[in-house]
Chains A and B, each alone.
Chain A
Amino acid sequence: MTTSIVCLIERLKMKIAIASGKGGTGKTTVATNLAKYLSENRKVVLVDLDVEEPNSGLFLNGSLMNQKEMFKKIPNWESENCTLCGKCQSVCNFNAIMKLGENIMVFPELCHSCYACSELCPTQSLPMIPMKMGMLTEYKVEQLGFVGSKLDIGQEQAVPLIAQTLDYVDEMYSDDYLKLYDAPPGTSCPVIEATKDADFIFLVTEPTPFGLHDMKLAVETMRELKKPMAVIINRYGIGDAEVEAYCKVEGIDIIANFPNQRYIAELYSQGKLIYPHVPEFKAELLKAADYCKHLVKEN
């Protein structure tokens, strides 16, 4: 094991984010199967942060524990004291507030909740009020807790919902839970938000030119965030050996190679977990699970 991992072994609590440069590599398949398997022996919480297209909850049939509306703050115009000076419009960098004749109009989806207009308004005519942006859902499946958030259609910003979901999990789940985060795909703002507090990153990829290209972007992103990482190859056997070669050159551990089987794709399409049905898949899952256990000091 590399030295960066050794120094993490002493950590009691652990947050592992499962990410990928490209969509469709099997990130959710890995996250859900890993979470369920690990939960057979210890407390685990899986957090679905792919808030635009959350999927992992579809694979875990548990009892609903909680459904919570999630809010972001946006300015609300109170006309009584407003002098229509237009300062709000001039300080907003997102075109989210404008003066139209005798009215001030707010565009909630464009608002980034920076509070500038509200706090700089000379007459305090723009108090910040909560507006629903999405929904958090919490399930329990035996020892596995699941928390997922879904952005309302029309809401464009994933970051505030991801941030609030992470806060919720930190508040509601004690340190003896291993926390697995199913991050959104890609390398942009929502991914940064989802992974910035993680202790370790598993990057899921497929051994193809698309997989390699996008994984390099993901590796670059995680290095920028100074996160230790390891790679999981899904659909091993298709494509070529370039991903393996790249990992070797870059000194990144490959901790599991999930097999490429049509049957696995069929199980996935039915919303089923894979490891109870496919021994070759389970064998690789064990490797990933063992790797997790090495990262966490077991009590």
Chain B
Amino acid sequence: MKIAFTTKGIDWDSKMDPRFGRTEFILVYDVEKEDFTHVDNRSIADQAHGAGPKTAQLLFDLKPDVLITGNGPGGNAATVLEKANLKIYIGAGDMTVKAAYEAYKNGNLKEG
């Protein structure tokens, strides 16, 4: 199972990025292999409009089973994510990646 996080860094101690569309990184944790891959999304800052769907397209290609984030995707991004068949959990915006993962496992995050 693969879990994607919107983050500001690429390891367990990194802070989560509460935004979806303009998140700095997408960090993907493979639960079986117990390792990370990531995509540096910081060039999204150059996009004046349409950052949400563009970032969502990234997730479409990465094919995670779960997305953990802060505020959740806006309208357009959500439409793209629907096609990606993943479950979205929100409310982890202020946490570290590790804390966000624990919260998810303990059922403490809201479904988005």
Interface residue ranges, A against B (CB under 8 Å): 94-96, 98, 100-101, 103, 105, 107, 109-110, 154, 156
The CA-CA distance from A213 to B50 in the complex, in Å, is 32
Contact of A154 among B47, B75, B79, B83 (CB under 8 A): B75
Interface residues on B, range: 10 to 19
Which of B11-19, B51-59, B89-97, B101-109 sits within the interface?
Answer: B51-59
What residue in chain A is nearest B44 (Cβ atoms)?
Answer: A95
| Known A-B contacts A105-B80, A107-B50, A107-B53; A100 and B75 likewise in contact (beta carbons under 8 Å) | no
What residue in chain B is nearest A107 (Cβ atoms)?
Answer: B76
Most buried by A among B47, B50, B75, B79: B50
**B36 interface residue, CB < 8 Å from A?**
no
| Known A-B contacts A98-B57, A110-B76, A154-B75; A103 and B51 likewise in contact (beta carbons under 8 Å) | no
Interface of chain B residues 37 through 61 with chain A (CB within 8 A) = 47, 49-51, 53-54, 57, 60
- Which secondary structure dominates chain B's binding surface? helix
Contact of B53 among A98, A101, A156 (CB under 8 A): A98
Contact of B83 among A100, A107, A109, A156 (CB under 8 A): A100
Quick check: A94 and B57 within 8 Å, CB to CB?
no
| Known A-B contacts A95-B49, A95-B50, A100-B83; A109 and B76 likewise in contact (beta carbons under 8 Å) | yes
A-B residue pairs in contact (CB < 8 Å), sample of 20:
A94-B50, A95-B49, A95-B51, A95-B53, A95-B54, A96-B50, A98-B53, A100-B57, A100-B83, A101-B83, A103-B83, A105-B53, A105-B79, A107-B50, A107-B53, A107-B79, A109-B76, A110-B49, A110-B53, A110-B76
Quick check: B80 and A100 within 8 Å, CB to CB?
yes
The CA-CA distance from A96 to B53 in the complex, in Å, is 8
Interface of chain B residues 49 through 86 with chain A (CB within 8 A) = 49-51, 53-54, 57, 60, 75-76, 79-80, 83
Chain B positions within 8 Å of A94 at CB level: 49-50
